[in-house]
Amino acid sequence: MKQQNKSVMSEIRKIREDNDYFNEEINERIEQLQMKKIHKLEKENFKFKEQLSAMKSVPDLKIINGKDSYNVHKELFKNRSRVIADLLNSKNELDITDLHIEDSGLKIVIHYVYTGSIPKNVHIKEFENVANLLQIEFSFQELRDLQNGYHYYY
């Protein structure tokens, strides 16, 4: 009987040691994930500050789409759109007419880049098509909000 008790106690001790080890591993992993999340949030915060400072200045880029044109902030759109960044040169004018982008979709994308929201009563497909054509980059939070429908302007 004593032998069994010792064996059981030994097993319990072993389980507790394993449990402590796994708890330490879990806590370390949680800490790593938290640090990664903090770093990501700091990076997004830096981008947001850049965008805010860009919006305080006068628009310095004219995007031409057929007969329509839009005055926007070059840095803001260069940072968000890979296509615009690739097409942009030293000029402060960019003609995207050859991309055959729907004007209504372009208006929605411009509104979204500035406000982070999509006006109500617009077709989300137009936004998605233009965002895909311009290769607009979205943060993880923006993608999640778009998927969950939290992107509409109220």
CATH number at residue 99: 3.30.710.10
| Residue 150 in this model has a pLDDT that exceeds 70 | no
Looking at the domain assignment, is residue 154 inside a domain? no
pLDDT digits (tens, 9 = 90+) for 44-66: 777 766 666 656 677 888 888 88
Is the CB of residue 123 less than 8 Å from the CB of residue 109?
Answer: no
Is 105 in the same domain as 44? Answer: no
Instruction: Give the pLDDT score at 154.
Output: 40
Is 38 in the same domain as 106? Answer: no
What are the DSSP calls for 59-120, one per residue?
A: P-EEEEETTEEEEE-HHHHHHHBHHHHHH--SSSEEE-GGG---HHHHHHHHHHHHHSSB-T
pLDDT digits (tens, 9 = 90+) for 5-32: 778 788 888 888 888 888 888 888 888 8
Looking at the domain assignment, is residue 153 inside a domain? no
pLDDT digits (tens, 9 = 90+) for 84-143: 888 876 677 888 888 888 888 898 888 888 887 787 777 888 888 888 888 888 777 777
Instruction: Give the pLDDT score at 2.
Output: 67
Looking at the domain assignment, is residue 73 inside a domain? yes
Q: Is 116 left (phi over 0), alpha (psi -120 to 50) or beta?
A: left
Of 149 and 41, the one with more pLDDT: 41
- What backbone phi and psi angles, to 5 degrees, belong to 82? -65, -35
Structure tokens at 71: 């005055």
User: Which stretch of DSSP H or E encloses residue 32?
Assistant: helix 2-56
Q: Residues 115, 119, 120, 123: is their CA dihedral positive or negative? A: negative
Is 89 in the same domain as 31? Answer: no
The radius of gyration of the chain's CA atoms, rounded to the nearest angstrom, is 26
Chain centre distance of CA 119: 19
Provide the number of structural domains found in the chain: 2
Structure tokens at 125: 């497909």
Is 113 in the same domain as 127? Answer: yes
Query: What is the end-to-end Cα distance of the chain in Å, rounded?
Result: 73
Instruction: Give the pLDDT score at 149.
Output: 67
Is 51 in the same domain as 62? Answer: no
Domain with 91 in it: 57-148
Is 104 in the same domain as 140? Answer: yes
